[in-house]
Amino acid sequence: MSKIFRRISNKFPSKDITKEDLKNKLILISKKEEIEIKLNNKFFLKKNNLAIIAGPNGVENIDMMFKTVDFLVKQKINIIRGHVFKPLTFPYRSNTYSESGIQGLVWMDEIKKYYKKITIVTEVTEIKYLERILLTSDILQIGSRNMQNFELIKEVARSKKIIILKRHFGASLRDFLAAAEHILVENNKNLILCERGIVAPHTHRVTSRFILDIQGIVALKELTNYPVISDPSHASFWAPWVEKLALASVASGCDGLIIEVHPNPRFSKVDPLQALNFNQFKRLKHKILSLCRFFHKKLI
């Protein structure tokens, strides 16, 4: 072994996780302690619970949000997703789509006043909006495209709110867990990891940009005790596949799902191909309940 090699601490840089990584770099995320995440003082994610987060892609207008939340609450789904800020791949907005921004948060505040039990998940894209988002949102999402935006992640972590960290579609589990470690070193243990599809040479359908990494879910569950959830809507980009991928995710051991739901998916302003309509969602929920019984999990 040459002298230079001996002096290098990172001797085996790799995209896969080595024992050394677990010991020296992924210190907190790989700690095998019991992790229980509380939402409104009640256990939300813990061993043997399965959480469903559902809602439209974007908070388009108040009527659509009321309609969707009303349906979901009747389905006993109280964790509602809906983004008001969205990093879009292309810089051009269509003339029908624009982010609802702060106005979208005001609509959600109104909806929360009406449906007292619901909690909101929304994405934070810029530090400058964090303070305002914290007034409305119970869970903060760091989207795939910001998985390694460490300044944003640190600031969001310091809020001590629950964070859903989405895996970037090109990230190894090593990079994903390293990003998560940035949250934990800020002393925020309210962390949920989300698999949402990765880029692969073949996705079996031209409209599917990503492929759901089921194997990644299994591996993550081995590497960390933090909850792992799955977003089959973004992974497949294709509503008819969402049900089967959601069920496969539950079977692979995930702790929760993010499912996109829209009263009329064809008219969804973003990603209209991936949202489930109300009937499709009802059918999916029914099947998830059966799987929960099989795996002795409680649907929350």
Q: Does 49 bind ligand PEP (CB under 6 A)?
A: no
Q: Strands 42-45, 37-39: parallel, antiparallel or unpaired by DSSP?
A: antiparallel
Interface segment toward ligand PEP; rule CB under 6 A; list 127-135, 141-149, 177-185, 288-296: 141-149
Q: Does 234 bind ligand PEP (CB under 6 A)?
A: yes
CB 73 within 8 A of CB 117: yes
112 or 166, CB closer to ligand PEP? 166
Within 10 Å of residue 51's Cβ, how many Cβ atoms? 23
136 binds, among Mn ion, ligand PEP, none (CB under 5 to 8 A by kind): none
CB 52 within 8 A of CB 264: no
Contacts of 145 by beta carbon, 8 Å cutoff, 6+ apart? 87, 168
The phi, psi pair for 175, rounded to 5°, reads -70, -35
265 binds, among ligand PEP, Mn ion, none (CB under 5 to 8 A by kind): none
3-state secondary structure of 105: helix
* Cβ 222 to Mn ion shortest distance, Å: 28
CB 59 within 8 A of CB 77: no
Q: Strands 228-230, 37-39: parallel, antiparallel or unpaired by DSSP?
A: unpaired
Interface segment toward ligand PEP; rule CB under 6 A; list 36-44, 140-148, 174-182, 246-254: 140-148
144 binds, among ligand PEP, Mn ion, none (CB under 5 to 8 A by kind): ligand PEP
* Cβ 233 to Mn ion shortest distance, Å: 8
Short-list 241, 261, 240, CA closest to 249:
241
Q: Does 82 bind ligand PEP (CB under 6 A)?
A: no
Among 35, 45, 55, 57, binds Mn ion (CB under 5 A): 57
Q: Does 144 bind Mn ion (CB under 5 A)?
A: no
166 binds, among ligand PEP, Mn ion, none (CB under 5 to 8 A by kind): ligand PEP
* Cβ 146 to ligand PEP shortest distance, Å: 8
CB 238 within 8 A of CB 232: no
Among 112, 182, 196, 262, binds ligand PEP (CB under 6 A): 196
Q: Does 166 bind ligand PEP (CB under 6 A)?
A: yes
Among 30, 57, 136, 190, binds ligand PEP (CB under 6 A): 57
Q: Does 141 bind Mn ion (CB under 5 A)?
A: no
132 or 145, CB closer to ligand PEP? 145
3-state secondary structure of 126: coil
Contacts of 164 by beta carbon, 8 Å cutoff, 6+ apart? 121, 139, 140, 141, 142, 192, 193, 194, 229, 258
* Residue bearing tokens 């043997």: 48
